[in-house]
Amino acid sequence: MSKYSIHPPEISIKKLDEPSFEVEHREYHWFWFTNVELVQGGNVEIGQENYMTAYQYPGPEFWERRERKIIRKAKVHDVECLELHGFEYDIDGNLIAESINYAKIDRGYLRTYAFQYVESDNTWLTTWKDNNFNSDWNYDPGVPIKVVDTGKWRILDDKHFTDGDTISTPPDVNPNGAGVYEVRIGEAVHRCLRVLEPSNNNEGTMVEAFVNQHGRTMLARRYNGSRWHYGSARTIIDGKPKEWTELLPDAPRLYYNDICFVLWDFSIPDTAMLSSNVLYDK
């Protein structure tokens, strides 16, 4: 018998007609897939853990179980930071991959200083002094933790959005907020700021995240542009390359301007499954 459920909980998302709010997203994250919170009330909690489950199309069905934990304080090239361990498990609870990140929140930014990935008998390590590290991890200045709805996106309907107002924002502000939504996951209900981060072409990806007013991600969804990795092994069927609209014909879609993004996977932290004490987790 499988250790985890193969099917995700029921999810419903509804836009709320109310003023938006800004959040401080203090979690360590990549593609917005939720992780441990680096700062809790101004303090670092060594030993803090977080668990989440990822689901993938077609289906959607179980993809992997993820565990994240703050292990200890550390230094990378004399920079003080935190050591975070990550583990991925298959549906039967077998460890399939692990990773180590070194990061911290510094002056309003999430900054990653090193990353080590381990899979089977292979491992690789990269640090902020390596070539191309910044392009991969946005080390300098980092990822702003303050997320604000500046009107950057104009929502047309449930599946379409386009460019909205062009407003200059400080570099330490993420302007990708896109309205307030009620997010129901199983029996739990959360009031969240929606965040949209699309590529500007169909060879890229898009992340759609829902973050509550406490700065915790309740749901993160990753989409592939219709021609993401087009021609690579994962897109070849019967010897011919296929677009993701063909590879995942039943997966939900979002359209940014004329670019089609196809939902590939999404992540739900265990905290999002807890029944809210009161409506919207206030």
Task: Convert the pLDDT of each residue in 14-45 to its tens digit.
Answer: 999 999 999 999 888 766 665 677 765 456 67
Give pLDDT, residue 280.
42
pLDDT at 93: 93
Q: What is the tens place of the pLDDT at every residue in 58-111?
A: 999 999 999 999 999 999 999 999 999 999 999 999 999 999 999 999 889 999
Q: What one-letter code names the amino acid at 33?
A: F
Strand-pair category, 236-237 with 146-147:
unpaired
pLDDT at residue 179 in the model: 97
Cβ neighbourhood burial of 19 (10 Å; 0-12, 13-18, 19+): exposed
pLDDT one-digit tens code per residue, 162-215: 999 888 889 999 999 999 999 999 999 999 999 999 999 999 999 999 999 999
For the entire predicted model, the pTM comes to 0.92
pLDDT given at position 276: 57
Q: What average pLDDT does range 118-142 have in this prediction?
A: 86
Condensed to tens digits (0 to 9), the pLDDT of residues 133-156 reads: 877 787 888 999 999 999 999 999
pLDDT, mean over the chain: 90
